[in-house]
Structure 1
Amino acid sequence: MRQYCLCLFIGLLAVAFLQSGVLANNANSPDECCFKYYARKIPIAKITSYMETRMDCAKAGIILVTQKSLRICVNPELSWVKSAIKMIDDRDF
């Protein structure tokens, strides 16, 4: 009986270690992805910074950060978004 309890304990301990490894893999999931884009143009003067979404997001996107710290997803293929990125990059240098 004692040996059975020891085997059961070791088995449960192994399962706990395996499960914690699976949970740790979820830590690599994208923090921020764009699932839909904001449709209207945002004035460049109101944008303070931007970031690109990670490669493992289903949809490519640009996250614009406004003066009020709003984070807005926009389509990176739009011409006004490309212009905004260029102006922000030029402004930072």
Structure 2
Amino acid sequence: MAAARLALTLLVLMLAAAAVTEGLRGAGPKRCCFRFHEKAVPRGQVLGYIRTSQRCSKPAVLLKTVAGRSLCARPSAAWVQELIGQLDTAVPGETSNL
């Protein structure tokens, strides 16, 4: 009887420890990129962009297209930097950064 109580107590403690450590991890990033769109996307096809979380393993920019798609792009690519510059300096009244 004492062995059963001990086993049950250890099981409850292990489950409690697992629940606590799982809660400490917090919510992960909503979206990370692992494959990237390499070809330049015309400015007229992009509504805006967002940068992925710093907690993602690879830095990326998510481009939101007029077709409703999200494309992953490398923020270090020259065409991406140019596109971001154009989006950031958009004329008021135009659709800019999401």
Structure 1 length-normalised TM = 0.77
- RMSD between superposed Cα atoms in Å: 2.2
Q: Which amino acid aligns with 2:6?
A: C
Give the aligned length. Answer: 92
- Per-residue CA deviations over 1:1-29 (Å, capped at 9, x if unaligned) read 1x433332221111111222343355443
- Counterparts of 1:19-30 in structure 2, within 5 Å, are 19-25=18-24, 27-30=26-29
More helix by share: 1
Q: Which runs of 5+ in 1 are unaligned?
A: none
- Could you tell me which runs of 5 or more consecutive residues in structure 2 were left unpaired when the two chains were aligned: 91-95
2:52 corresponds in structure 1 to: 53
Identity of aligned residues (%): 21
Instruction: Spell out, residue by residue over 1:47-78, the C-alpha distance to the aligned partner (whole angstroms, 9 max, x if none).
Output: 11211122222221111111222111111112
Q: What is the TM-score when the length of structure 2 is the normalising length? A: 0.74
- Cα distance change on mapping 1:22 and 1:37 into 2, 3 Å: same
1:23–1:37: structure 2 CA closer, same or farther, 3 Å change rule? same
